[in-house]
Amino acid sequence: MGAFFDAIIDIISSDSTYINGALFAAFLIFAASGEWVAERAGTLNISVEGMLLAGAFASAVGYDVTESMPVALLAGIVGSLVVAAVQAEMSHRLSADQFVVGLTLNILVFGLAGFLDNELEPTTKHAGRWVIPVLSDIPLVGDALFAQRWPFYLLFAVIPLTWWVVYRTRWGLEVRSVGENPQSADVSGIDVNRRRRQSIYYAGFTSGIGGWFLIFGVIGLFEDSVVGGRGFIAIAAVIFGGWTLRGTIAGCAVFAGALSFRLSVQGLGYEVNSELLQSLPFVVTLVGMALFAHRVRAPAALARPFVRGLK
Amino acid sequence: MTATAPTTPTPTPAAARAPRQGGRAGEWFLLYGLSTLGALVLSALLVEATGGDWRPVVNALLDGSLRKPGRWGETLGTAAPLLIVAVGTIISGKAGLINIGQEGQLFVGAAFATYFGFLIGGPGPLNVVLILIFGAIGGGLWAGVAALLKFWRNVPEVLSTLLLVTVGGQLVAYGLSQPWLLLAPLADRGNRNQVSTQLAEDNRLPRPEIFGNEVPLAAVIAVALAIIVSLVLARTVWGFRLRMLGRNPRAAQRSGVGQTRYGAAALMLSGAFAGLAGAAMLAGGGFSFGNYQLVPGFATNIGWTGLLVALVAREKALVAIPVAFIFAGLRTGSSFVGATGVEGRITDVIQGFLVLALLIPPAVMFLRDRRRARAAATERV
């Protein structure tokens, strides 16, 4: 047992655990912040997985064509917004079932990305590293937070932006009201389904950044397995966080911890069965939700379609 | 501006009348035709845009799924697990639950079937039945985890079933690396890693040969199950309660249909069907599915595709029969597409487009019906 605790201490005191953790957390936060907005408006948007993959692939292609990372970012956002558009228009204009649409989109994007990846084979590379002086000298977390590749720092723009948009603008208030009580929102003159569509577009926007970040800030090349179910962990983080932005970010940090722990165990040379280890983040996510999901209150109209006159 | 005058346009006489049955059938037909065509045209454009030619692709698909010798038997063999998965999905769907973890339930079911099949090792035909039953139990238990999380801890089943796919996959892969669980003894597996022992000849579901095609018994079982489930859901009290739960959980609760009891049963039953599909693939799948052995990645997207079949069939078990066959054809045909110089994964894309397009007609019809009802209502006032 002593060796076990030594191993744990070894892992939590290694820099790479924190660096990987910060990378995973950033990726999850990009996805989860937009997903959180969509859920506050009443859509349990499972196509976030597809949005991330579309964003990653489109940005890889964008970089392959133009060799410019900002253009790749734009391409990623556009790619992700296309998925968002299908989800939004089909589930909140045509009122098709949101889960069915989302699931189908995930499968379609996976097929499309795999197919087009084989046809186009985009080449990409890592973005440059920005080391912020002084701050990056903080022990343990300094390197993780302040010596990353530059796409990482967009995180410090996306989180405040999301907070401001949802809590400090009229649009954000309307989005929240649409997720809580669409009938009341409707009679007070808010176009419920329009707000819901817009919130899905917002999720597409941040997921596009997330997909781009994944390629240029983390992995450096595109494969169809880059997202690999982590979009679903982002959704779980929103639920884990009780539909608050703070909680969502905390959830992302916890689940990212599990993802990074898994890498560190292998990286530091400990012998653990790799199959069991790979399922660890997902088990942690499930346990986390089992512990917290019944304590929090979901937006009252979450996953309920709105059709005027039907309750 | 006066406060009166609702902005609804005056309804045309045709719209105000109760829609005729024949006219509606025509509309459905037209809408479905148009969206299917749209999906196919989109796929063809994609092939052309990437420098391919769509005509040979269609030919290859038909060759691979029907025309070449032995291929339609192959397609039937693929359609069988798809249909079983889809039928299970329809059960939970009727109860208003969204089970999207069939891929994992199928794999866990197949693992249960393998483990207990060898543990018990009864005489031939009896053991086949046991293998199928244990497959169903395995899948049902795996879905039961999601049911437990939902009704005890309030975790949405959409997410838990999904996350359990990965966990289940890794657990079975772990089992396949341990000789005391699923891994075959060294003598039986040569230098191939991570496979289970092959099922003995008399432990397999028969595949009798008809007109040069191996027709798997699993397909017959699948069709029978689809018919039975369709009858049970439409004609029995239990089926009625399930449908009531799906339509209005609150009303169901008040009239004695407990959400926990019936919901959990529906979820576990749908998992059991997925597990059964896994066991059927193991015992009767032949070369298409692991050759009577459990291997990592055994499920090969059958769970996901079966789910799509259920979505397209719109919760009608009988409609799922032809849909499963078509999707199976896309799958068996895809292995022939590679020879045309177009990437075989185009069939995944075609499938995705098709499913998405087929979601449109019911949604459009729903909105039109509502608009007509409202127009009729304003006219009465």
Whether A189 has its CB under 8 Å from any CB of chain B: the answer is: no
Per-residue model confidence as pLDDT tens digits over B187-232 = 666 666 778 888 877 778 877 777 777 788 889 999 999 999 999 9
Alpha carbons B148 and B165: distance in angstroms, whole number: 16
The reply to whether A297 falls in a domain is no
Q: Do A232 and B307 touch (CB under 8 A)?
A: no
Do the beta carbons of residue B78 and residue B288 sit within 8 Å? Answer: yes
Cα(first)–Cα(last) distance of chain B, in Å? Answer: 22
- The answer to whether residue A300 sits within a structural domain is no
- pLDDT tens readout for residues B353-379: 999 998 899 888 888 888 888 888 887
CA–CA dist B215, B234 (Å, integer)? 30
Position A250 in a domain: yes
Shortest CA gap A308–chain B (Å): 10
pLDDT tier for residue B14 given thresholds of 50, 70 and 90? very low
What is the span of the domain harbouring residue B247?
Answer: 71-317
Which range of A78-87, B15-24, B172-181, B201-210 scores highest in mean pLDDT? It is A78-87
| Per-residue pLDDT, A194 | 96
Q: A300: burial class by Cβ within 10 Å (0-12, 13-18, 19+)? A: exposed
Q: Which residues fall within 8 angstroms of residue B67, CB to CB, at 6 or more apart?
A: none
Q: Establish if A28 touches chain B: CB-CB under 8 angstroms.
A: no
Total structural domains in chain B? 1
Chain B residue with the nearest C-alpha to that of A239: B155
Position B159 in a domain: yes
Q: Is residue B152 over pLDDT 60?
A: yes
Q: Is the pLDDT of residue B266 over 90?
A: yes
Q: Mark which residues 234-263 of B lie under 8 Å from A by CB.
A: none
Nearest to B320 by CA among B36, B86, B97: B86
Does some domain include residue B194? yes
Q: Is residue B41 part of a domain?
A: no
CA-based nearest residue to A262, from A244, A248, A280, A246: A280
> Which CATH number do you get for residue A183?
1.10.3470
Query: Using a CB-CB distance cutoff of 8 angstroms, which residues of chain B are in contact with residue A108?
Result: 348-349, 351-353, 355-356
**Domain-located, residue A103:** yes
Give residue B2's identity as a one-letter amino acid code.
Answer: T
Q: pLDDT category, B74, cuts 50, 70, 90? A: confident
Give the CATH number, domain containing residue B98: 1.10.3470
| Residues in chain A with pLDDT values less than 50 | none
Cβ-count burial of A214 within 10 angstroms (0-12 exposed, 13-18 middle, 19+ buried)?
buried
Helices (H), chain A: 2-12, 15-40, 48-66, 69-92, 98-120, 141-146, 155-168, 170-180, 182-187, 192-213, 230-240, 245-267, 274-292
Q: In the prediction, which pLDDT does B197 show?
A: 80
Q: A40 is in which domain, residue-wise?
A: 2-292
- In total, chain B counts a number of residues equal to 381
- Residue A120 belongs to some domain of the structure: yes
> What band does B10 get if pLDDT is binned at 50, 70 and 90?
very low
According to the model, what pLDDT value does residue B188 have?
65
Contact B150, B267 (CB under 8 A): yes
Number of independent structural domains in chain A = 1
Whether A166 is covered by a domain: the verdict is yes
Q: State the residue for tokens 């230098």.
A: B191
Asked whether residue A68 is assigned to any structural domain, the reply reads yes
Tell me what ipTM this predicted complex has: 0.86
**Any domain includes A304:** no
